[in-house]
């Protein structure tokens, strides 16, 4: 039972509710939408991501014989119900914002239209997939915005929350504009460019630091990036200069050095001087260690001569804001709009569309959320991505990455600068407000 | 390429360093230890977890033909090196604190002793597995401490960071003392008891709320827990009373109600009164929605009549502290102790053991970290768990859960109460301090 594909990776209540729907024959069309209720403090926008994995899941989801056998063994479910699960397939329609689209609270990022037992069962995993990549893409985009032109590499796999988090964080960061990731599997699976240097253990395992540098350079002559903070950063920079002249004779260039501890800005300045004085002007400086968009902005504002950054733990865990206040809610069942009115968690009923307008400079000026057929000014953001349980053509990751860059280029100025300012305007169209009132009045 | 088992789920530098070791024939024994450098603010202790999955990984790790083919296709590595990877196996020794052990910074939780190319390559995934479950067990233990005797259920899968995070968070929370989880796969894979109620969509899909309750009760007569906040919580509680009398005639009892929004403490009080006045004294109240140990403590201090809690997002993401400041560092190579001296990240060299002493009440009084053979007073915490790449007998999850409860019962009082107080004493033995000085002097 592979956790990434098993339909048992769900909440128990999905199965108990399903048995309820099965027994009552409640098989009418349900419409669910995934959206974010509100932004957590310090965040001004989101970037939609994870649609590709959501569609993979919907296309491939089925119960295996082993899973059905296990369900039977629990004695929680009737035999008739478990037999029926054997034929469970997702055969519905899906609409979504393309990955890389900048978006905001109360806007549906994805809509599922399918018979209730199909649309309900997929809730848990859909949220699980969409929450995570949208979270990470939204976080990564912030580093991309504060460090234009810098090499940004995801280094977070080791402290990501498990295997899939590490893999998909690499994908989401690349989508948002990172140059690549240290995670090899992200390169094999998604074509995310792989980057890497060396670890302290490699330096420590050699009896002298310069010998470890020499050994690494000979093993990886095309990608000589040396980690210089294991013992004493400035002393190591002098060794790099010495080695640089030696290796030049063999036709090997030292491409870069990496700093991973201490005052990165000050050390970068001193190391830059040592390298320049030693004739290694072309050797770049790469920094890592507890970085995020706040530290990047601070380092760059101080003029630190750093050419690239490895951003790890705080990116892959979205450390300051590790989850989205998101939900997947029933908006229509059996052709009737539905609405939840729970305190602080009320939803907008019906099938919805989001329309985006731009100002004269081409920057995003405001969105309107309306009922699907209530056309508004601007560009509609949700597009069909699946019909009859089969995906329609999806943008390749490279194309989604270009869309993401295009979206980030159109952000309102204060959002692009990660500065405080007015919330981006998202208006609820009058007809939608009226429908919500009408639904409330029926209960 | 399944991300949970692929050896490509690693940092690129592991492979580039490995090629360096391969080319230089550096195959001597390396000793790495996994430890936490320091606790993040607000945390007083850790609970070791994830050893079981770490051993699974070490036992099963190998490169598949498809992965080797992909590595060749990148042109980054020599053919000889990729051929050699085909036979890569982990055949080393592992020592670890048993899962459920309470532990502290600077204490090794796990030690790997193996030829360098084996011990190095596993770094990324070992950290990935040990960081996450230790993080979640440590977080879950805090709810267990503040809510003794309450039913605590993990509800976090949907906002956990991907599939494996959801699955393993359920396991780690159960290990730490939770009653179970809503995640079905955690039940199928690990025997974690499964709990579940119903979602708002189930209520919304029916034309009346009481009809949805009736439908659910008939589908799950042994587990009737009704969600009562979809429209108006108190009105729904009155409907529960009405239905309770109706169902009693059919021999079905309403086991509980769930609150998921609003002022949970105040609503619980009102609902309790409605249920009691209606003769449903045996119907319990279960609460969920943005809960964590801080909210639990506050609700219980105010005397909220809540019998159980569903704790989701903030548990599975460890929202206030979403990562550990942990590392897997080379402490010895080719029989020589090694030490990293990077600013703020210096390590203690050599193979180490942790010794724990207790006071007269049986509470933990202090630990000593020493070289492995430098016996100290107290109980040694690290035990052998793998030899020659094969695991030794491991405690079953239920046994580890009992050990965890036993450990939590022995915490110093202020740590058990989650109160501010002195840091738990962890002493570095004199011989270890001397060794560190001697290693520094050699460089």
DSSP 8-class letter at A158: G
Residue after which a domain boundary falls, among A247, A279, A306: A306
Chain B CB contacts of A220 below 8 Å: 16, 19-20
What is the spatial distance between Cα A123 and Cα A328, in angstroms, rounded to a whole number? 7
Question: Which residues of chain A have a pLDDT value below 50?
Answer: none
Residue A374 domain flag: yes
Per-residue pLDDT tens digits for B108-159: 999 999 999 999 999 999 999 999 999 999 999 999 999 999 999 999 999 9
A25: nearest CA in chain B? B215
Q: Identify the pLDDT of residue A117.
A: 97
Chain A CB contacts of B65 below 8 Å: none
CB contact under 8 A, A10 and B215: no
A199: nearest CA in chain B? B13
pLDDT greater than 60 at residue B51: yes
Residue B93 domain flag: yes
Q: Are residues A300 and A377 in the same domain?
A: no
* Closest approach of B310 to chain A, Cα-based (Å): 12
Q: Are residues A273 and A202 in the same domain?
A: yes
Q: Which residue among A4, A124, A261 sits closest to B342, beta carbon to beta carbon?
A: A261
For chain B, give the percent of residues with pLDDT over 90.
Answer: 93
Per-residue pLDDT tens digits for B154-182: 999 999 999 999 999 999 999 999 999 99
* Closest approach of B254 to chain A, Cα-based (Å): 16
Task: Please give the interface size between A and B, counted as residue pairs whose CB atoms are below 8 Å apart.
Answer: 343
ipTM score here?
0.97
CB contact under 8 A, A128 and B70: no
* Closest approach of A401 to chain B, Cα-based (Å): 21
Per-residue pLDDT tens digits for B324-341: 999 999 999 999 999 888
Q: Which residue among B167, B205, B232 sits closest to A26, beta carbon to beta carbon?
A: B205
Mean pLDDT of B185-213: 95
CB contact under 8 A, A341 and B230: yes
**B287 near B299, Cβ under 8 Å?**
yes
A183: nearest CA in chain B? B11
Per-residue pLDDT tens digits for B68-88: 999 999 999 999 999 999 999
Residue B2 domain flag: no
* Closest approach of B202 to chain A, Cα-based (Å): 7
* Closest approach of A419 to chain B, Cα-based (Å): 24
Residue B294 domain flag: yes
Mean of per-residue pLDDT scores for chain B:
96
**What is the count of structural domains for chain A?**
2
Q: Are residues A131 and A16 in the same domain?
A: yes
Q: Are residues B336 and B311 in the same domain?
A: no
Tell me which of A7, A10, A12, A132 to substitute to probe the interface with B (most B C-beta atoms closer than 10 Å).
Answer: A12
The HSE-up count of residue A438 (CA atoms within 13 Å, CB side) is 10
Q: Identify the pLDDT of residue B314.
A: 98
Q: Identify the pLDDT of residue A440.
A: 85
Q: For residue A253, give Cα distances in angstroms to A25, A209, A214, A237.
A: 70, 18, 12, 15
* Closest approach of A68 to chain B, Cα-based (Å): 11
Per the structure, the complete domain to which residue B279 belongs is given by 148-316
Q: Give pairs for A405-409: CB < 8 Å, separation 24+.
A: A405/A100, A405/A177, A406/A100, A407/A47, A407/A100, A407/A101, A407/A102, A408/A102, A408/A141, A408/A144, A408/A145, A408/A176, A408/A177
Q: Identify the pLDDT of residue A436.
A: 93
Q: Identify the pLDDT of residue A443.
A: 55
Residue B3 domain flag: no
Q: Identify the pLDDT of residue B443.
A: 56
What is the spatial distance between Cα B62 and Cα B59, in angstroms, rounded to a whole number? 9
Q: Identify the pLDDT of residue B346.
A: 81
Q: What is the CATH number of the domain that holds B371?
A: 3.20.140.10
Residue A316 domain flag: no
Residue after which a domain boundary falls, among B255, B284, B316: B316
Chain B CB contacts of A198 below 8 Å: 13, 16-17, 20
CB contact under 8 A, A162 and B129: yes
Q: Identify the pLDDT of residue B343.
A: 79
Tell me which of A64, A162, A166, A233 to substitute to probe the interface with B (most B C-beta atoms closer than 10 Å).
Answer: A162
């Amino acid at each position: 039972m592979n956790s990434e594909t098993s339909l048992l990776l769900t909440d128990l209540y999905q199965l108990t509710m399903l048995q309820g729907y099965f027994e009552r024959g409640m098989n009418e069309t349900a419409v669910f939408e995934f959206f974010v209720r509100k932004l957590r403090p310090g965040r001004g926008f989101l970037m939609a991501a994870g649609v590709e994995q959501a569609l993979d899941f919907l296309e491939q989801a089925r119960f295996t014989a082993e899973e059905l056998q296990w369900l039977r063994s629990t004695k929680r479910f009737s035999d008739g119900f478990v037999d029926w699960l054997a034929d469970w397939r997702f055969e519905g329609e899906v609409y979504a914002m393309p990955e890389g689209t900048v978006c905001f609270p109360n806007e549906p990022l994805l809509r599922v239209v399918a018979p209730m037992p199909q649309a309900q069962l997929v809730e848990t995993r859909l949220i699980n997939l969409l929450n995570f990549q949208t979270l990470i893409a939204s976080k990564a985009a912030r580093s991309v915005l504060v460090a234009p032109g810098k090499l940004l590499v995801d280094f977070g796999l080791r402290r990501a929350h498990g295997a899939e988090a590490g893999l998909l964080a690499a994908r989401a960061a690349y989508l948002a504009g990172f140059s690549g990731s240290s995670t090899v599997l992200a390169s094999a699976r998604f074509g995310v460019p792989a980057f890497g240097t060396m670890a302290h253990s490699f330096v420590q395992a050699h009896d002298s630091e310069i010998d470890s540098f020499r050994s690494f350079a000979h093993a990886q002559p095309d990608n000589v990036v040396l980690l210089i903070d294991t013992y004493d950063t400035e002393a190591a920079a002098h060794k790099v200069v010495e080695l640089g002249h030696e290796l030049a004779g063999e036709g090997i260039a030292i491409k870069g050095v990496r700093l991973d501890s201490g005052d990165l800005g000050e050390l970068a300045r001193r190391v830059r001087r040592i390298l320049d004085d030693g004739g290694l002007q072309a050797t770049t400086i790469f920094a890592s260690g507890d970085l995020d968009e706040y530290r990047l902005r601070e380092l760059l504002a101080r003029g630190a001569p750093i050419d690239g950054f490895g951003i790890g733990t705080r990116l892959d865990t979205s450390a300051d804001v590790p989850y989205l206040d998101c939900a997947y809610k029933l908006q229509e069942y059996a052709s009737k709009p539905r609405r939840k009115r729970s305190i602080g968690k009320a939803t907008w009923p019906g099938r919805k569309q989001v329309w985006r307008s731009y100002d004269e400079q081409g920057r995003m000026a405001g969105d309107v959320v309306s009922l699907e057929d209530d056309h508004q000014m601007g560009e509609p953001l949700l597009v069909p991505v699946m019909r009859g349980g089969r995906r329609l053509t999806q943008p390749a990751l490279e194309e989604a990455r270009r869309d993401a860059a295009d979206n980030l280029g159109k952000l309102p100025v204060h959002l692009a600068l990660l500065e405080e300012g007015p919330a981006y305007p998202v208006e609820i169209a009058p007809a939608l407000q009226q429908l919500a009132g009408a639904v409330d009045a029926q209960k």
